[in-house]
Structure formats: C-alpha cells, structure tokens
Amino acid sequence: MDKAKFRSLGKSVLVLALIALCSGLLLGLVYRLTYVDPLLSTYERFAADTGASFSAMADEEGAAYGDGRVVYYALSDDGTVQAFLAEGGGGFGGTVQLYVYLRGGKIEKIAVGDHKETYLGRLEDAGFLQGFLGKDIASLDALATDGVAGATKSSNAVKSALDAVASYCGEHAPQGTVSARPAPGAGEAAAVRTSFAGGSGS
C-alpha cells in the first residue's frame, strides 16, 4: 500500500477513535451525574402515581410469563394499593413497561413507563388502556382483548404486560405471603412480611 495513503488512513482511524473516546468519557460523566437506582425510581413512581407511600418492595425478583414479565411488585404501607412494574415484549420497538395499580383486586390505574414505540399514542387515542380500568384482575384475559388497528404490535406488548400481572396475581394469591425488603433509606420499619392479597404487612 502507498505510504501516504496508509498514513492518511491511519490518521482517519485515529481521529475517529479519539472522538469516540472523548464522547464515551463525556457520556460516562453525564451518566454518573444523572444515574438513579432503578429500584429507587420505581418507588418514587409508585408513590407519585398513587399518592400512597411505599417503603418496601414485596418482590424484587419478579417472574416471567410468556412474552410478559413482572419486574417489581410492592404493596403500599397502608396495604390498600398493589403496585406492579411489568413489561411486555413483542412491541414494534421492543418491550413496553407498564405501571399497574390494583385496589381491592381491581385495576385502578395503568401508566406507561419506558418504551420505544412510535405508535403508542394511538393506544391512548383509542382509549385502549382505559378499557382495562375497573376490571377484576382475577378474571382478566388481556390476551383475548382486541388490539388497536395501526398499532397491533404495541397493543400486543401492552396485553402481554397486563397478562403477566394477571398471571402473577393468580399464581401468588393462594400462597398468601411474599417477603418484603426495605426500600433504600426507608428505615427499619419496612423490613416486614406483607400479605399479597390482604395487606396485613407494615
């Protein structure tokens, strides 16, 4: 290879590598400055969405059901609200995260979390999520619900997430108890065992 050409190529690679390195360092710094513990941010979101206080996560391990998964489950300190962070796969841009809140076994609120769906707005326009509100989680068959035309994959991801919550409730309700771990900085009062269905904890 021509020496001048080789030198020019080497310079190009070096400059590109240097820019990429500086970019990585800058991003690393910003990441450190903006990092939030996912567990802590979930507590904050649960509290902001429901107005209830959550000091312990009843299940940090979660469970997978088909395309859906329950990531975190928590029971409010007063035992009235069950909060789930669930995610459903198979969306247009990957997984869709949902915050699902139950009161007395019925769906009280659903909020959308992280996602990369460009058509998720169509679900909101069509009132797709609102259609699930007030329904009993024990008899919910999310997968059998009609999707929204033009956002079929996004609908499927949402249905998978809701189905995961329903399956999780169905699986854990008869057993009764799941152990709770305290929230970061929540103090000792939170280290208790909570009842999944009844809310005898805290």
Partner 1 sequence: MNKRKMKETLLGGLIRNNPTFVLVLGTCPTIAMTTTLFQAFAMGVATTFVLIFSNLFVSLLRGLIPDRVRIPCYIVIISTFVIIVQMVMQRFMPGLYSTMQAFIALIVVNCIILARAESYASCNPPLYSALDGVSMGLGFTAALCLIGVVREFLAGGSFAGMKIPGFPAMDGVGASAFGFIVFGCMMALFNFAMQKLRERRERMEASVLPLAGGAAEEVAE
Q: Which residues make Cβ contacts (< 8 Å) with residue 185, sequence separation at least 6?
A: none
Q: Which amino acid is at 105?
A: G
Residues 130-169: x/- map of binding to partner 1 (CB under 8 A)? ----------------------------------------
Among 37, 38, 40, 41, binds partner 1 (CB under 8 A): 41
Among 62, 79, 89, 93, binds partner 1 (CB under 8 A): 93
Choice between 93 and 170, CB closer to partner 1: 93
Does 31 interact with partner 1 (rule: CB under 8 A)?
yes
Stretch binding partner 1 (CB under 8 A), from 17-25, 68-76, 128-136, 180-188 = 17-25
Q: Tokens 């009842």 — which residue?
A: 195
Among 79, 89, 105, 113, binds partner 1 (CB under 8 A): 113
Does 40 interact with partner 1 (rule: CB under 8 A)?
no
Stretch binding partner 1 (CB under 8 A), from 74-82, 118-126, 134-142, 169-177 = 118-126
Among 6, 26, 104, 130, binds partner 1 (CB under 8 A): 26
Q: For the stretch 164-191, what's the b/e string if a residue is b when 16 or more beta carbons lie within 10 angstroms of its beta carbon? A: bbbbbbeebeeeeebebbebeebeeebe
Choice between 33 and 144, CB closer to partner 1: 33
- Counts of helices then strands in the chain (DSSP H, E): 4, 9
74, 62 Cβ separation under 8 angstroms? no
Does 19 interact with partner 1 (rule: CB under 8 A)?
yes
169, 161 Cβ separation under 8 angstroms? no
DSSP one-letter string for 123-164: HHHTTTTGGGTT-BGGG--GGGS---TT-HHHHHHHHHHHHH
Does 28 interact with partner 1 (rule: CB under 8 A)?
no
Applying CB under 8 A, the residues found at the interface with partner 1 are 8, 11-13, 15-16, 19-20, 23, 26-27, 30-31, 34-36, 41, 45, 93, 112-118, 120-121, 125
